[in-house]
A and B are shown apart, each in its own frame.
Chain A
């Protein structure tokens, strides 16, 4: 019996105008946007490759250890085509230096040539789905029960020996089967275009599968919202109006409204000031130890002969707004004058002392800075995201971002890799005894050979991690689905025909 019902519903749905129209428009939008997005991705990839080349040249041109320009670049994520998330928004290259902690707060951006273009917001495939799938779900659902009730066919169907739950189930299954057609077809087209120009790994396909699954849950949720409206109202006209306003509110209004009303809470400046003072204390401590060393060696004073001999440049400061802590102690020299040669052993001792001290100080400062920035920005963004999740759009967006790896955690992976690479570089310095070497500050007896420095590689987190990050939101979607279905059954069982 269930089979017959499903077949009837399926035929009813497939032969309608709305099905054809929805199919057409979804295909059109997804394909058009995929083409644009692929072009955009390729442009970003090109800019990334250029930047990597340039940074490699910069490094090769660095003659001494202390003046090494080592920058690493963040490659664009191919799955940003599905959900761009923060991929295009946060900085995409950063310096690796022992006196500086590479974090997402200090990264810079290459490849944004015309800043005015940022005027136009970018659309990704998930955004297309967000709008279209939800609309589709509601359009297919609003008259499912109310329409039959109006036409009187519901009474007819219920006269048969079928449970009311079964009727709902049949409607749900057949409608979802219909709605999956445009979703799957448009995705197939998108994938076809994608694989032609961008190589995707197996893991990427698994991630895309995750996105599809999430899309499915999202679609189903909106179908159920429509069904709920349909069950609860007597007339299709009313059901339609309610459905449309619910759609407009959930998709269009709520996500923007909630961002506008949430006030960046707390006194940011006060919090920054506290952290600034703490970091300043750490820097003062650093400076004291440095001066003590210089005094012990009898070479104190920045204008001394020692400092001149070394072409000394020293800087240790913390930005009062961004809290970026930066310690630099370098020599800008092409050669050492013969009469200053006597300072070389002292200089070696000095740099051997100051190098590790710098490393430690910066790490200590970062711990304080991280805490402050987490409290100010990360917490705020997390609250916003939770509030956004009151609309299914927010959940869907968060889950697909997690799958694509363009969410905050995905980008933080890159910066923790950068921090690990900084450690690698420092270890490399220790292994080469670089801090205590002549090449640290002057290159007159041969420049540094950088070829043995391990190169930076960044592997995006594996699929398991992506799944782990996406699962809570997917579960949330699933639970919403189940709860809604229960509510619909309850209302439908109690309703009079």
Chain B
């Protein structure tokens, strides 16, 4: 009962305050801008993706010759833009949007190089002379603005009352201290949540009523998770505010400490740490990779030449050639994939180190559930590699199904001449799996919860020991 009373009191106090009004206006403005920008940009992105993907599929299904299919490969595969990109932009404009099954490496009179998956990197826009700006997405609103608001709502929760002398008054009543603390926490939690939830609802209202963006059941589920994470993150900063407020005698000092903590952890730490960490295990330079690749390919080529010298029998020669064609493509594909993993490992390591900062955690979590950013890109690459295998199996199966063919994959004359029906060709589908996302997010969720628990415990201890 006392808890309820304290919570109500805190809530009333906050609802009448200036900060409540300002927070509401700020959050609403940001969230509405976010929605409008998303409605403007998402359809364009989607159209671009659809056009490109359709064209790629059309080119693929127009091929009826099995050799063509085996040699040219599935063409360009595109990453599906996430309808939830308004939640977290995730630097998606810096990430590649496609992988390319390229086959243009060499050709002779008798054979051509087979396809292998290449991973082009997004070319930075060197014409961009606009001033720098962060995207206004949910990650920004929650990570930066909401955390600041949380601190502004709690910095004087204990120290303010102590300054006014009302703390003594309250504690004179037969109320246990932890009830007071929980009441304060709940009061602040609810009062920050009111503007936040209103802003989120307005944002979703604008987005979901428009025809431009379609949100399915899966997306709504993800949005629910994202809001849940945001609330957890909010708790973290409320707990931090209460902790410092209980430790410090004056509210002004409490605010200065909180602001400095906030500025260092939220604004500076992610980027500074990342730039330090990204130097620890740098990937090979592109030139070094190319050199390595060239050498390994030459080794395969030379092995082929020596083998070919030894045999006179034309059918055997054909077999050797076909082996070379396959090996060349497979090896190159493996090397490219390994180099991609190397580059991504460097970035993920740097990202892991930034987890000391809660804003990096929330950024990562939101990206994971919004289906943007690096984690999403990795899933896309996984999907591509799965499809890569499926496609190769399809070629092999079709080849095996034709009894008239000599079964020498890699050479036109060695392969089945039967027409391939367009329906049989597997089509790439870029899907998202929620369970995979949970896996990727598990560590961050635990870390975030841990932070919250530690800070809350700290706030409790500090408050219990407070001298009034």
Q: Which residues of A contact B (CB under 8 A)?
A: 17-18, 21-22, 25, 28-29, 32-33, 36, 39-40, 86, 89-91, 104-105, 107-109, 112-123, 128, 131-132, 135, 139, 143, 236-238, 240-242, 244-245, 248-249, 252-253, 255-257, 259-261, 263, 322, 377-378, 380-381, 384-385, 388, 394, 397, 408
Alpha-carbon gap, A253 to B199, bound state (A): 15
- Are B22 and A105 in contact, with the CB atoms below 8 A? no
Given the known A-B contacts A36-B276, A245-B22, are A116 and B130 also in contact in the complex, defined by CB atoms under 8 Å?
no
Q: A115-B124, A120-B270, A259-B130 are in contact. List 5 more A-B contacts (CB 8 A).
A: A17-B253, A22-B256, A117-B346, A253-B30, A322-B127
Alpha-carbon gap, A377 to B128, bound state (A): 8
Most buried by B among A108, A109, A113, A408: A113
Interface membership of B446, Cβ < 8 A: no
Query: Which residues of B have CB within 8 Å of A89?
Result: 124, 126, 128
Query: Which residues of A have CB within 8 Å of B344?
Result: 116
A178 CB, min distance to chain B CBs, angstroms: 14
- Are B129 and A381 in contact, with the CB atoms below 8 A? yes
Interface membership of B148, Cβ < 8 A: yes
- Are A135 and B94 in contact, with the CB atoms below 8 A? no
Alpha-carbon gap, A252 to B149, bound state (A): 12
Query: Which residues of B have CB within 8 Å of A384?
Result: 130-131
A189 CB, min distance to chain B CBs, angstroms: 16
In the A-B complex, list the 7 residue pairs whose CB atoms are closest, starting with the nearest: A259-B133, A120-B274, A115-B121, A116-B347, A245-B22, A18-B256, A91-B126
- Are B268 and A29 in contact, with the CB atoms below 8 A? yes
Interface membership of B134, Cβ < 8 A: yes
Q: Which chain A residue shows the least CB distance to B125?
A: A89
- Are A114 and B133 in contact, with the CB atoms below 8 A? no
**Chain B, 127-160, CB within 8 A of any chain A CB:** 127-136, 140, 144-145, 148, 152, 156, 160
Query: Which residues of A have CB within 8 Å of B259?
Result: 135, 139, 244
Q: Which chain A residue shows the least CB distance to B287?
A: A113
Alpha-carbon gap, A416 to B110, bound state (A): 51
The A interface, classified by DSSP as helix, strand, loop or mixed, is helix
Alpha-carbon gap, A495 to B411, bound state (A): 93
A-B contact pairs, 29 of them (CB 8 A): A18-B252, A21-B260, A89-B124, A104-B127, A115-B343, A116-B347, A116-B374, A117-B278, A119-B347, A120-B275, A132-B263, A135-B263, A238-B18, A244-B152, A253-B29, A253-B145, A255-B133, A256-B133, A256-B134, A256-B135, A256-B136, A259-B131, A259-B133, A260-B33, A260-B133, A377-B129, A380-B130, A381-B129, A388-B131
Given the known A-B contacts A21-B256, A25-B264, A109-B124, are A36 and B30 also in contact in the complex, defined by CB atoms under 8 Å?
no
Q: Which chain A residue shows the least CB distance to B96?
A: A115
Interface membership of B43, Cβ < 8 A: no
Query: Which residues of B have CB within 8 Å of A131?
Result: 263, 267-268
Query: Which residues of A have CB within 8 Å of B253?
Result: 17-18
Given the known A-B contacts A118-B124, A131-B267, A256-B136, are A408 and B129 also in contact in the complex, defined by CB atoms under 8 Å?
yes
Query: Which residues of B have CB within 8 Å of A119?
Result: 91, 94, 274, 347, 374
- Are B126 and A109 in contact, with the CB atoms below 8 A? yes
Alpha-carbon gap, A104 to B36, bound state (A): 33
Alpha-carbon gap, A380 to B343, bound state (A): 35
Q: Which chain A residue shows the least CB distance to B346?
A: A114
Q: Which chain B residue shows the least CB distance to A251?
A: B267
Alpha-carbon gap, A91 to B123, bound state (A): 11
Interface membership of B26, Cβ < 8 A: yes
- Are A261 and B37 in contact, with the CB atoms below 8 A? yes
- Are B252 and A240 in contact, with the CB atoms below 8 A? yes
Interface membership of B385, Cβ < 8 A: no
Alpha-carbon gap, A385 to B130, bound state (A): 8
- Are A252 and B144 in contact, with the CB atoms below 8 A? yes
Given the known A-B contacts A113-B283, A249-B26, are A122 and B271 also in contact in the complex, defined by CB atoms under 8 Å?
yes
A117 CB, min distance to chain B CBs, angstroms: 5
Alpha-carbon gap, A120 to B138, bound state (A): 18
B166 CB, min distance to chain A CBs, angstroms: 14
Q: Which chain B residue shows the least CB distance to A90?
A: B126
Query: Which residues of A have CB within 8 Å of B17?
Result: 241
A193 CB, min distance to chain B CBs, angstroms: 15
Alpha-carbon gap, A322 to B30, bound state (A): 34
- Are B130 and A252 in contact, with the CB atoms below 8 A? no
Query: Which residues of B have CB within 8 Å of A394?
Result: 131
**Chain B, 338-391, CB within 8 A of any chain A CB:** 343-344, 346-347, 350, 374
A388 CB, min distance to chain B CBs, angstroms: 6
Interface membership of B105, Cβ < 8 A: no
